[in-house]
Amino acid sequence: MIGDWLAAPLSGTIAHAAIAPWAAWHARCMVLAWGVLLPLGVFAARFFKVLPRQDWPRVLDHKAWWHAHRVLQWSGVLVMLPGLWWVWGHAGAATPLAQWHAWAGWCVCVLGAAQIAGGLARGSKGGPTDAQAHGDHYDMTPWRRAFERLHKSLGWLALLIAIAVIASGLVLADAPRWMALLLGAWWCALAAMFVHWQRAGRCVDTYQAIWGPDPRHPGNRVRPTGWGVRRPAGGRKT
């Protein structure tokens, strides 16, 4: 029966061994944080700076992406914290895979905390709509350019490691097959959406999404940060 096959553990044994409550809650928190909330926050920032029906560049600085990105990233990190609490002092590195899972998991958590700290230190905004005309973002100062390079690079690195950590966790817990299939289908759906939106030109430069393509804005004379970033109305594309 297909139901029995889906309910069977990944190892193929007849029955799934019971796991400790702390391990189950640790897994739930981490999958929700790193498998759902944080990836969605990254997608919001990459593909929704200019909405499909937004009359850009007449309508600028639509903040829906920013609010979604901020809420999802903060929520993901806050959900991650009880996941750490549940595993603290319990998990032992009995096998090489368990040891790798622990070290890589800590690496991901540190990167997540660093992303929050980096976001808080991103510098001032500035620009025509700000009370202060000059700012790190509007002027694209070296500080802002360094922040964008680190924030984007470390964010994608954390997500890639997190996928591997979650997959190894499923193996260590000898989880039911349906869990692995469900997560695999979710990640495949995210990958398909990424390719579709990237090809559709939805990855718009943050600077132009906020201030438009007018060359009088200093940031439009600077190469956008990150690969595949689009400037719809002129400017250089990476």
The 10s digit of each residue's pLDDT in 205-218 is: 999 999 999 999 99
The mean-pLDDT minimum among 63-67, 126-130, 157-161, 178-182 falls in 126-130
- Say if CB 217 and CB 138 are below 8 A apart: yes
Q: What is the pLDDT of residue 102?
A: 92
Q: How far apart are CA 30 and CA 136, in angstroms?
A: 34
Residues written for the chain: 238
CATH number of the 20-48+58-221 domain: 1.20.120
Q: Where are the beta strands (DSSP E) in the chain?
A: none
**How many DSSP H helices and E strands does the chain contain?**
9, 0
Three-state DSSP state, 22: helix
Q: What is the pLDDT of residue 91?
A: 63
Contacts of 52 (CB under 8 A, 6+ apart): none
Q: How far apart are CA 45 and CA 194, in angstroms?
A: 12
Q: How far apart are CA 39 and CA 226, in angstroms?
A: 17
| Structure confidence by residue, pLDDT tens digits, 167-176 | 999 999 999 9
| Structure confidence by residue, pLDDT tens digits, 64-88 | 999 999 999 999 999 999 999 999 8
Q: Which helix (H) or strand (E) holds 96?
A: helix 96-120
pLDDT of 237 over the 80 cut: no
Three-state DSSP state, 176: strand
Share the mean pLDDT of the chain.
Answer: 92
Q: How far apart are CA 217 and CA 140, in angstroms?
A: 10
Q: Burial code of 140-152, b = ≥16 C-beta within 10 A, e = fewer?
A: bbeebeebbeebb
Q: What is the pLDDT of residue 1?
A: 80
Label residue 93 by pLDDT band (50, 70, 90).
Answer: low
Label residue 236 by pLDDT band (50, 70, 90).
Answer: very low
Label residue 235 by pLDDT band (50, 70, 90).
Answer: very low
Label residue 142 by pLDDT band (50, 70, 90).
Answer: very high
Compute the radius of gyration of the chain from its Cα atoms: 21
pLDDT of 159 over the 60 cut: yes
Q: How far apart are CA 228 and CA 87, in angstroms?
A: 38
Mean pLDDT of the region 151-176: 95
Mean pLDDT of the region 46-62: 94
Label residue 13 by pLDDT band (50, 70, 90).
Answer: confident
Compute CA 169 distance to the chain's CA centroid, rounded to the nearest angstrom.
19
Label residue 19 by pLDDT band (50, 70, 90).
Answer: confident
The mean-pLDDT minimum among 127-131, 146-150, 214-218 falls in 127-131
Label residue 238 by pLDDT band (50, 70, 90).
Answer: very low
